[in-house]
Amino acid sequence: MICVKCGLKEAISGGLCEECIWETVELKKPSVVSKTVCPKCGSMMVGNYWAHREPEDAWVKHLQKEFSVNEPFEIDSYSGLTFNNIEDRVTISVFIKLLLDGKEYGPREYTDEFDYRRNFISCPTCNKVTGSYYEAKVQIRGFSEKMSPELEVLAKNLVSMVEKHHERDPNSFVSRVDNMKEGIDVYLGKKKDGDTFAHDTVAKSVCQLVVSNSLAGIKDGKQFFRFTYRIRVLDLREGAIIYIDKEKYIYLGKTSSGVWVRSPGSREDKLIRKGSLEFDRIKDTGEQAELEKFLVINRGGDELTLMNEKNFEQVIVKGNRYKDYTEDTIELLRYEDQFYDRKVA
């Protein structure tokens, strides 16, 4: 059969030849190409959401979805976009192929120019960050409600954790850090971050966690609660003299399973498991066994003869733990003129 249109070539489909059939291409395309960019973070509006990760790619992919073609044609590929910033126009080429009975024709290039609009709107995440938005407040406190180096380390860890999460999730951010004499308050854009940090700290350290919430308003038609994670860590200094249930101890340190203490009289070491440790039963006297550094000047059997580096005072310590001691110096805790090893027996 001969083509009904040109009457020259053999028809291949719908009475049309291979050449005339291309004239039936109906390319559906956007009327205008617009891009909405957040001037603060560079994220872009893609459909009804804001793309923060590789926004340009997401925007281009979404734009391509606005192109379609009638059957039996198919879109094969797109060219890159060519911007004419003076006239606010953009040129896009679409490559169309024809599929007939398993045979492929083309592709042929269809080029078009569009009005191009660029808008700058601050995205919802940036609005949150620059405002005083927060979902969770983490209160980092010490045992005696005073600032300590350990609290600073915890706050720093929390901030860097959230900054890391921010790379993947723009809703993770720190909106404020308040340093006070009783501790540090960290305000977070995402409740989940407060939750993660609080539970990590409980697992790794010895602390008390109290979680509370309060109704802060209505967000997206739902009640919006703010959470407070109050973390009170046992940040006693090594050598602190404490009472637990009226029993006197030298505080040696903590592990993830509990705290190590030593009775000054019997010199017996004890691990108090954190599950059985109630902060209300601990009393910090404010007294402190201080660290002193000694040179080992003689050793024999289970005995070491030591000399204080500063005042040349000589001390003899005895015990199994000194049998294989090979170091040249040793640090001991001094409390009421008695010396105590730092290590747990």
Nearer to Zn ion, 6 or 210 (CB): 6
Quote the least distance from Cβ 143 to Zn ion, whole Å: 41
Strand partners, 309: none
Report the nearest approach of Zn ion to the CB of residue 178 (Å): 25
Neighbours of 102 (CB within 10 A): 5
Q: Tell which residue, 192, 345, 210, has the closest CA to residue 269.
A: 345
The pair of structure tokens assigned to 267 is: 């010199």
DSSP per residue, 36-66: EE-TTT--EEETTEEE-SSHHHHHHHHHHTT
- Which residue among 12, 37, 38, 332 contacts Zn ion (CB under 5 A)? 38
By CB under 5 A, is residue 33 in contact with Zn ion? no
Answer for which of 6, 180, 209, 291 binds Zn ion (CB under 5 A) is 6
What is residue 118's three-state secondary structure? strand
H helices within the chain, ranges in order? 55-64, 124-130, 149-168, 191-204
Place of tokens 């609009």: 117
Number of residues that bind Zn ion (CB under 5 A): 11
Compare residues 125 and 288 and give the one whose CB is closer to Zn ion.
Answer: 125
Give the binding range for Zn ion (CB under 5 A) out of 125-133, 153-161, 214-222, 324-332. Answer: 125-133
**Given the complex with Zn ion, which of 41 and 315 has the nearer CB atom?**
41
Residue 341 and residue 321 in contact, taking contact as beta carbons nearer than 8 Å:
yes
Residue pair 135/110 in contact (Cβ under 8 Å)? The answer is no
Closest contact distance (angstroms) between CB of 53 and Zn ion is 12
* Cis-peptide into 39, omega within 30 deg: no
The stretch near Zn ion (CB under 5 A) out of 37-45, 174-182, 192-200, 276-284 is: 37-45
Q: Tell whether residue 51 is a contact of Zn ion (CB under 5 A).
A: no
Asked if 3 touches Zn ion (CB under 5 A), the answer is yes
Give me the least distance between CB of 106 and Zn ion, in Å please: 16
Residues 85-124 that bind Zn ion (CB under 5 A): 123
Which of residues 45, 96, 126, 174 is near Zn ion by CB under 5 A? 126
Instruction: Rule CB under 5 A: choose which of 17, 155, 174, 186 binds Zn ion.
Output: 17
Judged by CB under 5 A, which stretch of 39-47, 53-61, 198-206, 310-318 contacts Zn ion? 39-47
Minimum CB separation of residue 23 from Zn ion in Å reads 9
Choose which of 25, 27, 41, 75 interacts with Zn ion (CB under 5 A): 41
Tell me: does residue 40 bind Zn ion (CB under 5 A): yes
Residue 282 interacting with Zn ion (CB under 5 A):
no
Q: Smallest gap, in angstroms, from Cβ of residue 117 to Zn ion?
A: 19
Secondary-structure breakdown of the chain: helix, strand, coil percentages, each rounded to the nearest 5: 20, 50, 30
Half-sphere exposure in the Cβ direction for 168 (13 Å, CA): 6
Q: At closest approach, how far in Å is the CB of 130 from Zn ion?
A: 9
d(CA 222, CA 220): 6
97 forms beta bridges with: 74
- Full strand arrangement of the beta sheet holding 338-341: 314-318, 303-308, 290-300, 329-335, 338-341
**Cα radius of gyration rounded to whole Å, the chain:** 36
- Where does this chain bind Zn ion (CB under 5 A)? 3, 5-6, 17, 20, 38, 40-41, 43, 123, 126
